[in-house]
A and B are shown apart, each in its own frame.
Chain A
Amino acid sequence: MIGEKCLKLPAAALFRAPVVAYAPAMDVMPDDSALMLRYADGDVDAFETLYRRHNDSLYRYLLRLSGHRDTAEDVFQETWGKIVKARSKYRPTAKFSTYLYRVAHNCFIDYLRRNKRHSNTADVDPDTQMGTGGEPDAETERSMARSRLEEALKTLPEEQRDVFLLHEEAGLNLAQIAEVTGVNRETAKSRLRYAVGKLKAAIDAPRAREAS
């Protein structure tokens, strides 16, 4: 009886193995380029899936790049409008997010040229509140660090902020950032290093002051 059970266990495990191995394959989501090509063939659901994957990160990218909600919304809509119009010409030669953010980046540059009165004074309020004095506990310290980062991000030069946001929001690597912004890899690397250095210094400011 026990021997039978012992014999049955590996057999059952072997029998289950393909199910375990192939089950995730059933859940594999089509990649962005495939969805875009399906949309080019008239599949609106494919576009919605693609859109839901990128809408929030693209919105945050434009919101923090411009510092204005209205500008972000205008450029966001213009970007997706261009993607929709160019669907039949789309060729999956690069990662879709690189293509999307390149269009967004160019739309933003065009927007700045069209609206020269656009100032860099941001109207985006930080979502987090500053601590209310007293002994800063861990949560208050985190909240203050968030506020300091938010402020430091606003004061970064536009090129550095752009590169940082492409890195964080779009998840692009240096080569892809270089492609989107139209600079070489070394320039993108240098901009990202400066941006991260300044933001890190802003987060660590009180600790640095305490140490000195």
Chain B
Amino acid sequence: MSEDRNNGIGDPAVSDTYRDVATERAPASLNEAVLRNAAAHASKGYAHSMLWIRPLAYAATVVLSLGIVVCRSVARRKYRSADGERLSGSGRNRACGGR
């Protein structure tokens, strides 16, 4: 606005007189209606996003839990087989030593 005034288009006297005249405010009922509409749409948007976020969260939890269980059982099996090999190896050694 000031840029235009500097260009000589605006006029301070016109602007000031207009400011004195233009004092109306948006009616409270209108404000209420607009804000109510905005709130309704925002909550709708949130509910809509929750429709796919919640199942995705459940699915992720299940996949992670299964992953942990599978990883642990695989690790345990590996440990047992390694342990078994070690035990059988030491038994063979003992048998050899006994001879």
Interface residues of chain A, those whose CB is within 8 Å of chain B, are: 39, 42-44, 47-48, 51, 55-56, 58-60, 63-64, 73, 76-77, 80-81, 84-85, 87-88, 126-128, 142, 145-146, 149-150, 153, 167-169, 171-174, 189, 192-193, 196, 199-200, 203
Chain B 1-44 interface 0/1 with A at a Cβ cutoff of 8 Å (1 = within): 10110010111011101111111111100110111011101110
Q: Are B42 and A47 in contact (CB under 8 A)?
A: yes
Between A and B, 18 residue pairs with Cβ closer than 8 Å are A42-B43, A42-B49, A44-B42, A44-B43, A51-B31, A55-B26, A59-B24, A60-B22, A64-B22, A76-B26, A84-B37, A84-B38, A142-B20, A167-B10, A171-B1, A196-B10, A196-B14, A203-B14
Chain A residues with Cβ below 8 Å from B58 are none
B52 interface contact, C-beta 8 A: no
Q: Are A168 and B38 in contact (CB under 8 A)?
A: no
What is the chain A residue whose CB lies nearest that of B24? A60
Q: Complex: how many Å from CA A22 to CA B23? A: 35
Q: Are A146 and B24 in contact (CB under 8 A)?
A: no
What is the chain B residue whose CB lies nearest that of A199? B14
Chain B residues with Cβ below 8 Å from A128 are 20-21
Chain A residues with Cβ below 8 Å from B4 are 167, 173-174, 192
Instruction: Known A200-B13, A203-B13; judge A149-B18 contact (CB<8 A).
Output: yes
What is the chain A residue whose CB lies nearest that of B23? A127
| Of B9, B14, B31, B38, the contact of A44 (CB 8 Å cutoff) | B38
Nearest CB on B from A179, distance (A): 15
Q: Are A149 and B17 in contact (CB under 8 A)?
A: yes
Q: Complex: how many Å from CA A87 to CA B43? A: 13
Q: Complex: how many Å from CA A180 to CA B20? A: 25
| Of A77, A127, A146, A169, the contact of B33 (CB 8 Å cutoff) | A77
Chain A residues with Cβ below 8 Å from B46 are 42
Q: Are B11 and A146 in contact (CB under 8 A)?
A: no
Given contacts A59-B24, A59-B26, A172-B1, 9 further A-B contacts (CB under 8 A): A44-B38, A73-B27, A76-B30, A77-B34, A84-B38, A127-B21, A149-B18, A167-B4, A174-B9
Instruction: Known A60-B24, A168-B15; judge A47-B30 contact (CB<8 A).
Output: no
Chain B residues with Cβ below 8 Å from A63 are 24
Q: Are A168 and B3 in contact (CB under 8 A)?
A: no
Q: Complex: how many Å from CA A84 to CA B45? A: 11
Q: Are B9 and A192 in contact (CB under 8 A)?
A: yes
Q: Complex: how many Å from CA A199 to CA B9? A: 12
